[in-house]
Structure 1
């Protein structure tokens, strides 16, 4: 009687943990360009320009929402205006290091029009970085400036105990978010 053993092949650890989609990764690496990696979190957004290396990927430049405080941004670090400004910052840092082009890497996330990922991409493109994209995926200019946040705040229909509580503690006026956005944008563009 013949024995029918199955040979079991163990997947790569990062694939097993559902952290890396190697098919998408190889497609991005084939371009030969650095990757603009955007990772949104609830209270922050991280944007990095990463280059492939045989030993391991190298981060060339990085920016987070918390770096915006140096430029006078004291609002949420995870909203659409903060994502745009973070993209603008990483784009400017990349240009200073001689990086002129990149490809967007969103790591298996569903690409939805108008999200923080594409706000960050818009910021990098406005900084001068050449990244292949379609104009219709970007959020509107009003959302980039934070007018939707300002409008909601001025309606006054929000829960005073939880929503905007952190901003109240800091003494930040959300009615001025669009003005502060323009000031921070100007400061980043001048660096």
Structure 2
């Protein structure tokens, strides 16, 4: 029997070395997205032989700075986290990214986050058909579900307890989403800054 050595991070199902090699050879900035049970984290990194360097990073809890009162890990939160990361990326002069998932699955949360990054003005090679539709990103499906569940007060109060504690109702998800996105857009880089960044990155 022949013994084949397996790298530790491969055994732990943490690193896809084929994808890592492609990142190093391509010398492209990449985005890594993690959606947990409580939070969303999105990072822009540069790969090197000595380890990855973080260019900029956003957690969904930062959405509260803009007044966000909804969940921290649903589709609207994933999108807004990506949108904020896209704005910060442009401020750092990064306007082209590729997605690195490693050994993680490509989920709807990751897709929503990518959509936010792209809508902020960053170019990512991704098929539109793999992204959630606009209504789900705005939380319209949550608002509809809340309207139906409202007939059972007890279930409604349990399901949306955290949101209700914030003095807000889930039926308002789409409007609240647009309000927060608008605040982010108005505090992001100016058109001149984006144009300057795009010029610097040509060639």
After TM superposition, the score normalised by the length of structure 2 is: 0.84
For the 8 Å contact 1:89–1:188, the answer to whether it is kept is yes
1:40 & 1:101 partners in 2: Cα distance?
Answer: 22
1:35 & 1:57 partners in 2: Cα distance?
Answer: 10
| Aligned counterpart, 2:175 | 179
2:183 & 2:167 partners in 1: Cα distance?
Answer: 22
2:20 & 2:69 partners in 1: Cα distance?
Answer: 35
1:172 & 1:135 partners in 2: Cα distance?
Answer: 32
Structure 2 unmatched runs, 5+: 188-203
Do structure 1's residue 81 and structure 2's residue 88 form an aligned pair? no
Do structure 1's residue 53 and structure 2's residue 53 form an aligned pair? no
**Which of 148, 158, 163 does residue 167 from structure 1 map onto?**
163
| Aligned counterpart, 1:147 | 140
**Which of 4, 17, 39 does residue 22 from structure 1 map onto?**
17
1:101 & 1:118 partners in 2: Cα distance?
Answer: 17
In the TM superposition, what is the alpha-carbon distance from 1:7 to its structure 2 partner? 6.8
> Which structure dedicates a bigger proportion of its chain to helix?
2
For the 8 Å contact 1:38–1:106, the answer to whether it is kept is yes
Do structure 1's residue 127 and structure 2's residue 120 form an aligned pair? yes
For the 8 Å contact 2:13–2:103, the answer to whether it is kept is no
Deviations 1:107-149 (A, max 9, x none): 223335xx01111001000111111111111101100100000
How many equivalent residue pairs?
184
Q: Check 1:24–1:53 CA distance in 2 against 1; reply closer, same or farther (3 A cut).
A: closer
In the TM superposition, what is the alpha-carbon distance from 1:105 to its structure 2 partner? 1.2
Q: What SS class does the counterpart of residue 63 from structure 1 fall into?
A: strand
Alignment RMSD (CA, Å): 1.7
